[in-house]
Amino acid sequence: LTTFSDEARIALDTLAGRAAGLVSPSLRLGVTGLSRAGKTVFITAFIHNLIHGGRLPLFEAQKSGRLSRAYLEQQPDDAVPRFQYEDHIAALVESRIWPESTRAISELRLTVEFESASAWNRLLSRGRLSFDIVDYPGEWLLDLPLLGKSYDEFSAEALELATLPGRADLSADWRALTGETDPDGAADEMIARKLFEAFSAYLKACKADHRALSTLPPGRFLMPGDLEGSPALTFAPLRPGGKRRANSLHAMMERRFEAYKTHVIRPFFREHIARLDRQILLVDAMQAMNAGPEAVADLERSLTEILSCFRPGRGNLLTGLVARRIDRILIAATKADHIHHESHDRLQAIVRRLADRAIARADFSGASVEVQAMAAVRATREGTVRQGKETLPVIIGTPMAGETIAGDVFDGETETAVFPGDLPEKPGLLFQERSTPETPIRFVRFRPPKLERTAEGVTLSLPHIRLDRALQFLIGDHLA
């Protein structure tokens, strides 16, 4: 799969660079998660808090005053788009709107100057380390299993998945079209396009808010990046069976499926995933819970597939490349500011339960895996309201324009106290149809917080929940 020369080239490039003093020591940090999990917000908050000396009591290097400076530098990979930090931070802080989400891969280099805690390290190192933060859609990772599948296997599985309860109605049009298409018919571009459009419309509908389904390969059909419209991205599953003539529609689709593997999946894993040292996987469990048990089960399925991409050792299609590298994986349940802190541990337990099977199945020996609840940007604060004799915990924030609570529609300007959604004590309950469907879990979306200014007019850094803990796990040891 990955040829020796690829691997050797990467290794030699790095060695040569180091020897020539061109490459300062760097750590490649992958940030992924399914779309809208919070990647853009996380990276923006990560950088802002380091550059502006945010409140990070659990981030040891910062707490002990050993961080002297953090700044952005030119990224080393000229062919990869830059993560547009400046635009994103302006949206968050100045306009108080959420930045534009990740649509493709992007990268940014952050360099940190620090004083090592140990005298020995101070002597040896220059106290400077660069972090290459690589932001990419988790959907693209879901493509890895396709490498081990033939076009017919892919087709059969896609058709089977499409008949599952949460999907059958959404896939009806595509299945009907596929049903009346003769795989042995002529290789007609217009038919291929119609099938592709119907298939990707179904995948996109699964992703919509009220369904929130996750396992939807091919990943580029949802997040095409810059390949939109190319033949490698214009195919769809067909009914298996048939005679398989050379110039048939089936032959054309099969060729494109193979092209997708060769020109899309393999280079992505080889050039990007194989070079990562650390990985954070963001998970929006709240959205899945809002949508119901099918979405939760689907999220679990996709987390299992995503995590298997980072699994070292035999059985991984990327054996050799990834095995050597990724030594820490953080699975972070995002948007914890939507719930009261009393529920943070429950959220963490839910995501741990979702990832458990993947962690158990994958042998992550050599890599440590941690799960935590987090809000990269905290849009709410906590309070209490009295109701009769009871004092109830609430969260206070500005619901986004158009959000509704009990029939009230919000204008995006009014601060409101909201009863946070109540998470079940036992994560297993999420996988069952709820016995009381009239009380679904419901989370309101809030606007980003208003930042306070000090008397000197300096804007304080973005508030967060446990972002410092995430930083400590992901990069803390390299600043020791």
Nearer Cβ to ligand GDP (192/283): 283
The residue from 28, 36, 211, 270 that contacts ligand GDP (CB under 6 A) is 36
Closest distance to ligand GDP from the beta carbon of 465 (Å): 8
Cα separation, 102 vs 353, in Å, equals: 26
Cα separation, 179 vs 163, in Å, equals: 13
Cα separations in angstroms, 3 against 274, 295, 311, 320, 327:
13, 38, 19, 10, 23
Nearer Cβ to ligand GDP (83/114): 83
Closest distance to ligand GDP from the beta carbon of 472 (Å): 18
At a CB cut-off of 8 Å and minimum separation 6, what does 323 contact?
312, 313, 316, 366
Q: To which H or E segment does residue 152 belong?
A: helix 151-161
The residue from 30, 33, 54, 217 that contacts ligand GDP (CB under 6 A) is 33
Nearer Cβ to ligand GDP (240/393): 393
Q: Which stretch binds ligand GDP (CB under 6 A): 33-41, 72-80, 119-127, 248-256?
A: 33-41
Q: To which H or E segment does residue 28 belong?
A: strand 26-33
Closest distance to ligand GDP from the beta carbon of 214 (Å): 13
Closest distance to ligand GDP from the beta carbon of 290 (Å): 13
Nearer Cβ to ligand GDP (298/403): 403
Nearer Cβ to ligand GDP (446/473): 446
**What are the two backbone dihedrals, phi and then psi, of residue 279, each rounded to the nearest 5 degrees?**
-145, 135
Angle between helices 344-361 and 293-308 (to 10 degrees): 50
Nearer Cβ to ligand GDP (237/463): 463
Phi-psi domain of 286 (left: phi exceeds 0; alpha: psi -120 through 50; beta: other):
alpha
Q: Which stretch binds ligand GDP (CB under 6 A): 73-81, 108-116, 194-202, 329-337?
A: 329-337
Size of the site for ligand GDP (CB under 6 A): 20
CA-based radius of gyration for the chain: 24
Closest distance to ligand GDP from the beta carbon of 467 (Å): 8
The residue from 326, 329, 379, 470 that contacts ligand GDP (CB under 6 A) is 379
Instruction: Give the burial string for 12-47 (b: 16+ CB within 10 Å, else e).
Output: eeeeeeeeeeeeeebebbbbbbbbbbbbbbbbbbbb
Would you give the binding string for ligand GDP spanning residues 349-378, x where CB under 6 A is met?
--------------------------xxx-
Closest distance to ligand GDP from the beta carbon of 37 (Å): 4
Closest distance to ligand GDP from the beta carbon of 334 (Å): 5
The residue from 337, 354, 398, 421 that contacts ligand GDP (CB under 6 A) is 337
Closest distance to ligand GDP from the beta carbon of 270 (Å): 23
Cα 70–Cα 75–Cα 77 angle in degrees, nearest 5: 160
Nearer Cβ to ligand GDP (60/403): 403
The residue from 28, 30, 38, 61 that contacts ligand GDP (CB under 6 A) is 38
Closest distance to ligand GDP from the beta carbon of 443 (Å): 9
Of the candidates 296, 285, 305, 393, the residue with the CA atom closest to the CA atom of residue 346:
285
Would you give the binding string for ligand GDP spanning residues 405-444, x where CB under 6 A is met?
----------------------------------------
Chain-centre distance of CA 299, in angstroms?
12
Q: Is 220 near ligand GDP (CB under 6 A)?
A: no
Are 217 and 203 in contact by the 8 Å Cβ rule? The answer is no
Cα separation, 47 vs 59, in Å, equals: 14
Cα separation, 217 vs 260, in Å, equals: 12
Phi-psi domain of 186 (left: phi exceeds 0; alpha: psi -120 through 50; beta: other):
beta
Helix or strand or coil: residue 391?
Answer: strand
Residue nearest to ligand GDP (CB): 98
Closest distance to ligand GDP from the beta carbon of 207 (Å): 11
Nearer Cβ to ligand GDP (266/335): 335
Q: To which H or E segment does residue 282 belong?
A: strand 278-283
Residue numbers 91-120 binding ligand GDP by CB under 6 A: 98, 101-102
Nearer Cβ to ligand GDP (41/129): 41
- Which amino acid is located at 372 in the chain? Q
| Binding stretches for ligand GDP (CB under 6 A) | 33, 35-41, 98, 101-102, 334-335, 337, 375-377, 379, 445-446
